[in-house]
Amino acid sequence: MAYERAEILAGAAVLAVALGFTLYAARGAGLGSTGDSYPLTASFRSIEGVSIGTDVRLAGVKVGTVTDIRLNPETYFADATISMRKDVAVPVDSTILIASEGLLGGTFVEVQPGGALEMLEPGGEIEDTQGAVSLITLLMKFAGGGAAAAEAEPAAP
């Protein structure tokens, strides 16, 4: 009888910890917190490495998440919807870009605020965008540029 009571209490404790962890993870992912945020949209030529749930940062601080990504069949651009914290106002002349955390790190969306006094309204669009830059393309340009530069220099006598 004593073993049964101890097993029930241990099981209840494990379930409580699991529920707490699930709520913590959902809150960290931005789920269930739609009341304290507002949507903004942006169109990117390339949104490689970004998915739903990707962080949106301003000055290195997480201020939102990517909530939707769709291909625009008319422009062939990727239309992204982001959810911004209500306490963060974004000027209308701001820039949004896809950035990398490092050479092999993950990708995030960075908002660079402009200097306008007018702020974007909920549902507004950030028009100045910069898509993802492919690391392979950069390495190919670097390798190609280095070989071309070496060929252009005359050989020393």
Q: Residue 108 phi/psi, 5° resolution?
A: -145, 170
pLDDT the model gives residue 94: 93
Assess whether 66 and 85 both reside in one domain: yes
Q: Are residues 54 and 81 in the same domain?
A: yes
Same domain, 92 and 20: no
Q: Are residues 79 and 21 in the same domain?
A: no
Q: Do 100 and 49 lie in a common domain?
A: yes
25 and 96: one domain? Answer: no
For residue 121, is it within any domain? yes
Extract the residue ranges of the chain whose pLDDT is less than 70: 1-2, 27-35, 103, 134-136, 138, 145-157
Q: What confidence score (pLDDT) does residue 93 get?
A: 92
Report the candidate in 43, 51, 58, 44 with the shortest Cα–Cα distance to residue 89. 58
What is the pTM for the complete model shown? 0.65
Name the residue range of residue 14's domain. 1-32
**Could you tell me if 45 and 88 lie in one domain?**
yes
pLDDT score, position 152 = 46
Residues 77, 134, single domain; the answer is yes
* Cα distance between residue 7 and residue 52, in whole Å: 40
Q: What is the pLDDT of residue 101?
A: 80
Predicted pLDDT at 46: 87
Same-domain status, 4 and 76: no
Secondary element (H or E) of residue 68: strand 61-71
d(CA 119, CA 113): 10
